[in-house]
Structure 1
Amino acid sequence: MIKKAVIPAAGLGTRFLPATKAQPKEMLPIIDTPTIQYVVQEAVNSGIEDILIISGKGKRAIEDHFDHNYELEERLQQKDEALYQEISRLSDMANIYFIRQKEIVGLGDAIRYACQHTGNEPFAVLLGDTIIDSVIPVTQQLMDMYEQYHASIIAVETVPADKVNRYGIVGGKKISDSILQLDQFVEKPSVDQAPSNLAIAGRYILTPEIFKALDETPKGKNNELQLTDALLSLLKREKIYSHTFEGKRYDIGNKLDFLKTNVEFALKRQEFADPFFKFLQEIVASHKPPKD
């Protein structure tokens, strides 16, 4: 059974500057909820209560968000009981621990910091800037698969062929409509070099053997240790599977997708849906394309 989750959240967030100069990109809100709160909630909804967040310099706001703010909570308790309950529960969602990545040199390096915390157990990895909306949490879907295969499981999604060069792409032997036994990981391939159109989607179950693979993997471009390269090394030791998950992924890593995510989530909120939809209709009706 998977008991622990690791959330890498140490990236610099340069694509959101200047907003991320003094705040973590993972704290950018989808309406009124920080992105990373959705990620933590997914882990909790999957039955995981032990979470390690890999943070970095300038990420203190993440720690503060999941800590008590007694002065604020006392005032809310006197004025708004529902909001008080919502805010106070943040510190009780899970047992959340933090460790700082000393140097930002790749996702693989960040995961190495979890070695002592996870020990000799398999663990979940959820990227801190990726939200996935699904009926069954994607991490739970992967955990269920792990119980069957007892191997590392990678969440993937189908992407258009002309966009495979934006993602890490997997290839392998088809086990079922949603499962592959993997034999290839290719980082941002051209269309003609892509083994499939299945893109790695920011959710993993990893066995403890990943740490040996990371130790053996040399740093690559920009002196970064990439998880994808370590997974290729892990393939020499044990089987790895992919699961095409049920749900929709929201990548908060770029500004346009961030804007789209806010719009979609606003339309799902009962208090906003109707007036916001009418507003969008008015905007579309009055919109004039910019002149060339």
Structure 2
Amino acid sequence: MCSSDDIKTVVFPVAGLGSRFLPATKIVAKELLPILDKPLIDYAVCEAKKAGIERFIFINSPNKQSITNYFKKNKNLESELKDKKSEHLELISKNLISENNLIEVIQDKPLGLGHAIWCARKYISGPFAVMLPDDLIISGVPCIKQLIKAYKNFKSNVVAIQEVDENNINKYGVIDYYKNESNTYHIKDMIEKPDKKNAPSNLAIIGRYILNPSIIKELSNHELGAGGEIQLTDAIKKLIINENVIGYKFEGNRFDCGNVIGALNAQLSIAMNDDKYKSQIKEIIKNLSKE
């Protein structure tokens, strides 16, 4: 039996248009674009599985259901690979999510991250994780597992944070805090995309969260924030009035795969640390540097 602070559910908001990757995303969901030899979304799901998460909720748009199909059985493909005794059969079996644990909720309109989380309300009864697949994080201990440990230690909402350059601070939600202990920061305020003059710190919120179900009540007000959207940051700010919210500076390397250069950086970095591709990538870079 699970205790009340076991985190077994994760919400993946994947309804975005992926406009930075057009025209590719006209036909292929951004989350299915490959980072080396598997799609971006697979990295996030693998991270969650390694942290003991069992139930996966995808907040999707009507046009991107290929994302959830990726995690379902493909009987025709499996049969063909089995007949050929292909080694690839094992590869496509690794990423499956059981039918009972895969939930898809359609977000009809892109009304913001907060609205996407609110769309999962029917399936939220206890603390849960939120993971933004654009943030690909490579670490010894999965990032979301680090946050789950912090949640259990402090019995508090937890958001992942990372130091960022002040010139990029206006791209993130930023925390203000009243004390910190090692990698843990006790948050007193959060500001969505401040300019660098008004930023209370250089600690930015990254796409990993552990939240109490009380966040759903705050999101139900449907208050519009930055960009005319329902912002998750605004709802978490309201939680701070009655609940503790912890910022946890995670250990690991994060790649912003929500843009082309960030995705390319992830491709090269992961390849350079993979024995299968390392020597070939080095040779390619060496040859390019001669031109």
Decide: shared fold, TM above 0.5: yes
Structure 1 CA distance, aligned partners of 2:86 and 2:152? 41
Structure 2 CA distance, aligned partners of 1:60 and 1:216? 28
Pairing partner for 2:137 from 108, 125, 132: 132
State the partner residue of 1:97: 103
Once the two structures are TM-superposed, the CA of residue 285 in structure 1 deviates from its matched residue by 2.2
Structure 2 CA distance, aligned partners of 1:276 and 1:153? 37
Structure 2 CA distance, aligned partners of 1:217 and 1:148? 31
Pairing partner for 1:203 from 200, 208, 228: 208
Return the letter of the residue paired with 1:49: E
Once the two structures are TM-superposed, the CA of residue 75 in structure 1 deviates from its matched residue by 1.6
Alpha-carbon contact 2:172-2:204 (below 8 Å) kept = yes
Distance 1:130-1:93 versus aligned 2 partners, 3 A rule: farther
Return the letter of the residue paired with 2:216: F
Which whole-Å deviations, capped at 9, do the CAs of 1:201-230 have from their partners, x for residues lacking one?
100000011011112351134431011111
Distance 1:148-1:131 versus aligned 2 partners, 3 A rule: same
Distance 1:204-1:274 versus aligned 2 partners, 3 A rule: same
State the partner residue of 2:176: 171
Deviates more, 1:74-83 or 1:57-66: 74-83
| TM-score of the pair, normalised by structure 1 | 0.94
**Is 1:85–2:90 an aligned residue pair?**
yes
Alpha-carbon contact 1:155-1:245 (below 8 Å) kept = yes
Q: How do 1:140-151 and structure 2 match up within 5 A?
A: 140-151=145-156
Structure 2 CA distance, aligned partners of 1:151 and 1:93? 30
Alpha-carbon contact 1:217-1:230 (below 8 Å) kept = no
Alpha-carbon contact 2:186-2:246 (below 8 Å) kept = yes
Distance 1:173-1:82 versus aligned 2 partners, 3 A rule: farther
Return the letter of the residue paired with 2:104: F
**Is 1:153–2:171 an aligned residue pair?**
no
State the partner residue of 1:289: none
State the partner residue of 1:237: 242
Structure 2 CA distance, aligned partners of 1:9 and 1:140? 21
Structure 2 CA distance, aligned partners of 1:181 and 1:222? 27
SS in 2 for 1:218: coil
Alpha-carbon contact 2:11-2:57 (below 8 Å) kept = yes
Alpha-carbon contact 1:146-1:153 (below 8 Å) kept = yes
Alpha-carbon contact 2:7-2:148 (below 8 Å) kept = yes
Once the two structures are TM-superposed, the CA of residue 93 in structure 1 deviates from its matched residue by 6.7
Which whole-Å deviations, capped at 9, do the CAs of 1:21-76 have from their partners, x for residues lacking one?
12211111102211001101111000001111111121111121011111111121
Which whole-Å deviations, capped at 9, do the CAs of 1:128-186 have from their partners, x for residues lacking one?
22211000001100110111111110000111122211211111022312111101111
Alpha-carbon contact 1:6-1:52 (below 8 Å) kept = yes
Structure 1 CA distance, aligned partners of 2:264 and 2:128? 32
Distance 1:259-1:176 versus aligned 2 partners, 3 A rule: same
Alpha-carbon contact 1:30-1:262 (below 8 Å) kept = yes
Once the two structures are TM-superposed, the CA of residue 90 in structure 1 deviates from its matched residue by 2.2
Consecutive aligned runs of 4 or more in structure 1 exceeding 6 Å deviation: none
State the partner residue of 1:53: 58
Q: How many residues align?
A: 285
Structure 1 CA distance, aligned partners of 2:161 and 2:96? 31
State the partner residue of 1:110: 116
Q: How do 1:219-230 and structure 2 match up within 5 A?
A: 219-230=224-235
Return the letter of the residue paired with 1:143: I
| TM-score of the pair, normalised by structure 2 | 0.94
Structure 2 CA distance, aligned partners of 1:21 and 1:40? 23
Once the two structures are TM-superposed, the CA of residue 257 in structure 1 deviates from its matched residue by 0.9
Alpha-carbon contact 2:175-2:204 (below 8 Å) kept = yes
State the partner residue of 2:290: 285
**Identity within the alignment, %:** 36
State the partner residue of 2:35: 30
Alpha-carbon contact 2:128-2:211 (below 8 Å) kept = yes
**Is 1:187–2:192 an aligned residue pair?**
yes
Distance 1:170-1:222 versus aligned 2 partners, 3 A rule: closer
